[in-house]
Amino acid sequence: MTATQPPAVRVERAGEAEWRIAELLARMTLEEKIGQLTLVPGGGGHVPPSLAEEIRAGRIGAVLNEVDPGTVTELQRLAREESRLGIPLLVGRDVIHGFRTIFPIPLGQAATWSPALVERGARVAALEAAAAGVNWTFAPMVDIGRDPRWGRVAECLGEDPLLASRLAEAMIRGFQGEDLAQPGSIAACVKHFAGYGACEAGRDYAATSLPETELRNVHLRPFRAAVAAGVASVMTSFSDVNGLPATANPLLLRDILRREWGFDGLVVSDWESVPQLAVHGLTADDRASAREAALAGCDMEMTSRTYTDHLPALVRAAEVPPAQLDAMVANVLRTKLRLGLLERAPALSVTLPAPLNDAHRAAAYEAAVASVVLLKNDRAVLPLDPARLRSLAVIGPLADDGHEQMGTWVFDGRAEDSATILPALRARAGEQVEVRYARGVDTTRSLGQEGFDQAVAVAQDADAVVLCLGEESILSGKRTAARTSGSPGAQAALVARLARLGKPLILVVLAGRALALAEVVPQVDALLYAWHPGTMGGPAIADLLFGVSAPSGRLPVSLPRAVGQVPIYYAQRRTGKPAWPAQVIPLDAIPARAGQTSVGNTSYHLDAGFTPLYPFGYGLSYTTFGYAALALSDTVLRRRSALVVSVEVTNTGPRAGEDVVQCYVGDPVASLTRPVRELVAFARVALAAGERRTVHFTLTAADLAFHGRDHRLRAEAGEFRVWVGGNAEATLEARFHLVDDAGHGDLAR
């Protein structure tokens, strides 16, 4: 595996940098070295005397969660002017989907399938965070999200390694800019390395069991892409991966990340994940935890102090070799050098744009529009036409809640800065349309039905009903957010009650995950899945509902029918008894006292079948798209050459729209069984009504490569299938062969 080759000029600078690092290391005491490996929380708007003292003494290398510009300036001044070596601090913050201007949650951004929009969102976030003195964000999170019970799927970039890779690269470009040392660039941190998303049953922090082939072919791919894209840092996962917690996992941190991928940036633990090695049961005490984490290659410890407390003795006793300590410190110093911190005084640049300015809000609006997925639109109830409406009922606790629409992992956004749905709908509807609101339920979790009558009263006189339901921010994200049910509280009952009125019923779901909505969907006429859309969610949703813009989001995850189906994702392996629609026997068709073998003999759930409610990649618009004339430039692909897949995409409907054309590949026979199909390329295309365009995808053997039985990456010769269309169930198919040339080597994807 090779990382991207840096251009020559960088090599020269890298040489200088290494010299500089060696020179600094030679001047550092043991305590100062360990100080560089120490990341502690800031005081939140002031500098606690103990923190000031530690910074002066060189015992702190980085601070997190301090965003008061004056305080950050003072912290940096202490490090630069009052510590012996004057090394500035890394200042970290979870800038996950915006700083003051909040963009859709990462899962929503993934629904845009647009690297350009994702890059712009990260750029805006970086500019706003840098203005507060932050120089390091703990994003992107690229854990593969195949289990919506896990609350942190909200933060990830979907279920697919290729989509997550392309969007992670874009996010890194946005955060880090052309040059990390430029004002407005901040260091990115790809996390959580690795396997966090595969925690058992979606319970946050639970153990992960992943065969190495699966780890490499699925979960590590976006990390490798992030490293190749030049990500500055990597955060270890809380997970116990196959019995070795990630923070002390030499296979992950040393063999794969450093040796195979050539990563030379900074590896940071997750919050207290070093002492937690003892809680996992890998070590007996903090001393052993510090040793195991350091030996595995975890450079910096987040918030806990086992390195401070135990590394001095461990190094003196040569249990951690001095060379290992120096390598860890060098990784931190290299990151600071790349940020330009050792070259110039870290100043809060007055030239950076003000947060929440019009351009930033416009970018958040565009991202929100593109993130919303239209899943159902019977009888074309959408878009609403203000000229034909007399009155509109808006119902639901999420219709006018600036806090909830921002979503999880927001520390610096403010509810009062959010533009919510209800006023945006009022503005779009115009004065001729009476817009009436009822909450329906108190919160999305409430079980009480006291508000139903008022909701019905509002809805029964309206020409159409917009229901804004789903889950509050706190129900996704970390800690408490693992959930096992579909839509929470009394919301499904509210939908059922309103559905009885027979009015056009439009459900807008705001949620941090794929909810199981099989029972709700048949009762509504239209369904817009809006995730948690951020600061500009209100205008974005109102404009979509009124057709000022057309929906163009596509699902970055499969939407399950029932929670019992999860994990359900399109790129599953085949099994020896694959399910087949004709073989699925509905539960009520099974005769009483059926014999053992009479209930089919394939892989599916009796009460949910084997397909999701909506597949990965799915999404409608206010127009329709057709695919035809799938063609390959050749029937044979040689290693080292390329194959062009082309398809004609036509806007077959009445108005302009954007489609996401998706290309999937399947490897029917391989030395390790492969997923039924895998996304290899995609393109967002804008088409006027009636317009036809030919879309080309270029494939090489690298797109077909996988880690085989020996864990090496290579593509195997043989037949491949390719499908192109609008979601993971695309049926337009072609075939080609990958053929061997003499002397090929292993191939990176």
The residues that touch ligand BGC, with contacts defined as CB under 6 A, are: 94, 138, 191, 270-271
Write the CB contacts of 190 (distance below 8 Å, at least 6 apart in sequence).
Answer: 140, 141, 142, 168, 172, 222, 223, 226, 227, 231, 233, 234, 235
Between 138 and 682, name the residue whose CB sits nearer to ligand BGC: 138
Question: Can you give the three-state secondary structure of 690-714, one letter per residue?
Answer: CCEEEEEEEEEHHHHCEECCCCCEE
The DSSP code for 439 is: -
The residues assigned a catalytic role are 270
Report the nearest approach of ligand BGC to the CB of residue 416 (Å): 24
User: Beta strand 90-93 with 62-64: parallel, antiparallel or unpaired?
Assistant: parallel
Q: Which residue is nearest to ligand BGC (CB)?
A: 138
d(C-alpha 122, C-alpha 371), whole Å: 15
What is the four-CA torsion angle of 199, 200, 205, 209, rounded to 10 degrees?
-60
Report the nearest approach of ligand BGC to the CB of residue 96 (Å): 8
Structure tokens at 264: 């030379």
- The 3-state DSSP class for residue 464 equals strand
Between 304 and 443, name the residue whose CB sits nearer to ligand BGC: 304
Q: Comparing C-alpha atoms, which of 531, 525, 463 is closest to residue 148?
A: 531
Element housing 455 (H / E): helix 452-460
Helices (H), 202-297: 212-214, 221-228, 250, 276-280, 286-296
Query: What amino acid occupies position 193?
Result: F
Report the nearest approach of ligand BGC to the CB of residue 411 (Å): 9
Between 19 and 411, name the residue whose CB sits nearer to ligand BGC: 411
Between 237 and 487, name the residue whose CB sits nearer to ligand BGC: 237
Residue 21, strand partner residues? none
Between 94 and 301, name the residue whose CB sits nearer to ligand BGC: 94
| E strands, 61-148, in order | 62-64, 90-93, 136-137
Report yes or no: 723 and 732 within 8 Å, Cβ to Cβ: yes
Between 271 and 570, name the residue whose CB sits nearer to ligand BGC: 271
Report the nearest approach of ligand BGC to the CB of residue 298 (Å): 14
Structure tokens at 27: 């001047």
Report the nearest approach of ligand BGC to the CB of residue 143 (Å): 10
Write the CB contacts of 56 (distance below 8 Å, at least 6 apart in sequence).
Answer: 78, 82, 83
Between 192 and 221, name the residue whose CB sits nearer to ligand BGC: 192
Query: What amino acid occupies position 424?
Result: A
Between 411 and 580, name the residue whose CB sits nearer to ligand BGC: 411
Report the nearest approach of ligand BGC to the CB of residue 197 (Å): 12
Report yes or no: 440 and 128 within 8 Å, Cβ to Cβ: no
Between 62 and 333, name the residue whose CB sits nearer to ligand BGC: 62
d(C-alpha 173, C-alpha 231), whole Å: 9
Between 199 and 704, name the residue whose CB sits nearer to ligand BGC: 199
Report the nearest approach of ligand BGC to the CB of residue 125 (Å): 14
Report the nearest approach of ligand BGC to the CB of residue 190 (Å): 11
Report the nearest approach of ligand BGC to the CB of residue 158 (Å): 17
Structure tokens at 120: 């712009």
Helices 322-338 and 286-296: crossing angle in degrees, nearest 10, is 70
Report the nearest approach of ligand BGC to the CB of residue 504 (Å): 42
Report yes or no: 294 and 314 within 8 Å, Cβ to Cβ: yes
Q: Comparing C-alpha atoms, which of 322, 334, 270 is closest to residue 295?
A: 322
Report yes or no: 3 and 262 within 8 Å, Cβ to Cβ: yes
Question: Can you give the three-state secondary structure of 646-693, one letter per residue?
Answer: EEEEEECCCCCEEEEEEEEEECCCCCCCCECCEEEEEEEEEECCCCEE
Helices 306-316 and 322-338: crossing angle in degrees, nearest 10, is 130
Q: How far is CA 400 from the centre of its chain?
A: 26
The number of CA neighbours under 13 Å toward the Cβ of 226 is 35
Helices 8-27 and 322-338: crossing angle in degrees, nearest 10, is 130
Between 191 and 310, name the residue whose CB sits nearer to ligand BGC: 191
The DSSP code for 291 is: H
Q: How far is CA 32 from the centre of its chain?
A: 36
Report the nearest approach of ligand BGC to the CB of residue 145 (Å): 14
Helices 537-545 and 421-429: crossing angle in degrees, nearest 10, is 40
Report the nearest approach of ligand BGC to the CB of residue 141 (Å): 7
Between 222 and 396, name the residue whose CB sits nearer to ligand BGC: 222
